[in-house]
Amino acid sequence: METKTFTINRRHFLKGTFASLVLSSFGVYGFDLMHPLKPYKVGLIGTGWYGKSDLFRLMQVTEVEVVCLCDVDQRQLKEAADLIQQRKPNHKRPQLYGNYETMLSKHELDIVLIGTPDHWHALQAIAALEAGAHVYLQKPISVDVIEGEAVVAAASKYNKVIQVGLQRRNTPHLLEAKKNIVDAGLLGEIAHVEMNCYYPMRSTANPPLQEVPDYFDYEQWTGPAPLRPFDGLPHRGWWRAFMEYGNGIMGDMCVHMFDAARWMLDLGWPQRISSQGGIYVQNSGKSNIADTQTAVFEYENLNCIWQHRTWGTTVDKEYPWAFKIFGSNGTLAGSPMQYDFIPNGEGKKIHKNCLYEREQYPEDLTEKNIELHAAPATRLHMLDFLKAIEEKNLPAASVLEGHRSTASCILANIAMDLGRPLAYDPENRIVIDDAEATQRLQRPYRAAWKHPKPEDFS
């Protein structure tokens, strides 16, 4: 793409505090992301709730041609195509596929967005990279550690950008908190982080076995994961009730807050990870994910401690899903909704709410299930992704950063199951002095699928 003067659409972005954040993040660097020379050719794999949400945010910040969509649920797929045409009436209807490999083989795409369940993320990301596309990959990047190592290696081999959907790194009020509180030194010496989720989000359902609907390809949906007896469509959270497809609340919610803490404090791999927990209270229903879990991610002179409970009351009603960074001079509490700086002694408290853009993006108000508070962060995350593509640089939530946060949460689950602390060696891809834990870095696949390894891309 030839060099052009960068101008962000003023109606959408030059609004108060967000204006300074956007300009400081993107500045005048020679590209017009709002109006590229040619629309980005885009494909989406996984047309459920968050897949569509990510695509709509991308459509709001740049010109795209949505070439194709893929989903194993034909009803969900058609609905997504209809919604795209409602947003862009003159847009050519996307071609629809039930198999992502077929889709990728038939189109040359600039960007592929992946919004499928966790057990598909690594294989689909690698396939998109091999097809020549840049990838917006929902978190976590993998369902096991070796999958994640393979995605990192593939991105390097094919020299493509992956932006992981860890959008706290581009959440406007948290960008401000990092700059004006953490980086400015207001916290003093930082020696402790607490992270938590107390949402009652674990299913206690016990549905009967059912016939698979003719519009849903359950075999393809399951893919490399174990094939459970079919007991209802897995959409909108039922699949998250099972470790077969993900890593429980740890892999869903902790990955966001742990990644935010690492970003805020510029932390790399933990030196050691320990965890305790299990199903302590909600023992009815089919779900096999922990309803209670504590994990400690150890760094030199600093522990990052995670706690989740899917039952009972929250510890802090203002921060039910959050991180808190404790320093010698004060505390920073942060969440997708707000942040608070509480100084020790007589200092000035600082509070900031999340940014909403209801007036700038009125279409948000009619979008089903949209997270209005998260939409500005995802838009900025998409712009950061596009900037990295055009500048051939790393985005805020690069594949390596996404892998570190993902793998650390997976290791916490392994530590909980084995009942002992683990120290991961990312250079040799082993758990130090623990052959049993090292073996669990890679999950078994069903026979029809081949597990990717980083050496496949050397």
263 part of a folded domain:
yes
121 part of a folded domain:
yes
Do residue 101 and residue 175 come from a single domain? no
386 part of a folded domain:
yes
The predicted model gives 57-69 an average pLDDT of 97
Do residue 22 and residue 85 come from a single domain? yes
Do residue 119 and residue 236 come from a single domain? no
Do residue 127 and residue 190 come from a single domain? no
| pLDDT over 60 (residue 14) | no
1 part of a folded domain:
no
CA neighbours closer than 13 Å in the CB half-sphere of residue 172:
26
Residue 35's nearest CA partner among 68, 67, 12, 69 is 12
DSSP class of residue 251 equals: I
448 part of a folded domain:
no
Sheet holding 292-299, edge to edge: 272-278, 292-299, 302-309, 190-197, 321-327, 330-334, 338-343, 350-353
- CA 366 from chain centre, in angstroms, equals 24
Residue pLDDT, tens place only, 398-457 = 999 999 999 999 999 999 999 999 999 999 999 999 999 999 999 999 999 999 999 999
Residue 405's nearest CA partner among 181, 140, 175 is 140
- Give the domain extent around 313: 171-206+224-361+403-440
Positive or negative, the Cα torsion across 220, 221, 225, 226? negative
Do residue 48 and residue 157 come from a single domain? yes
450 part of a folded domain:
no
Residue pLDDT, tens place only, 285-335 = 999 999 999 999 999 999 999 999 999 999 999 999 999 999 999 999 999
| pLDDT over 80 (residue 16) | no
Do residue 185 and residue 324 come from a single domain? yes
d(CA 119, CA 46): 12
Do residue 202 and residue 322 come from a single domain? yes
The predicted model gives 385-406 an average pLDDT of 97
pLDDT given for residue 34 in this prediction: 80
What is the residue whose two structure tokens read 């629809």?
96
Q: Which CATH number goes with the domain that contains 73?
A: 3.40.50.720
Number of domains in the chain: 2
Do residue 165 and residue 178 come from a single domain? no
Do residue 37 and residue 115 come from a single domain? yes
pLDDT given for residue 32 in this prediction: 76
Do residue 384 and residue 350 come from a single domain? no
Do residue 429 and residue 349 come from a single domain? yes
19 part of a folded domain:
yes
235: tokens are 């959409």
247 part of a folded domain:
yes
Tally the residues of the chain. Answer: 458
219: tokens are 């075999």
Do residue 34 and residue 118 come from a single domain? yes
Q: Which CATH number goes with the domain that contains 271?
A: 3.30.360.10
Q: Report which of residues 254 and 90 the model is more confident about.
A: 254
Residue pLDDT, tens place only, 175-200 = 999 999 999 999 999 999 999 999 99
d(CA 436, CA 414): 10
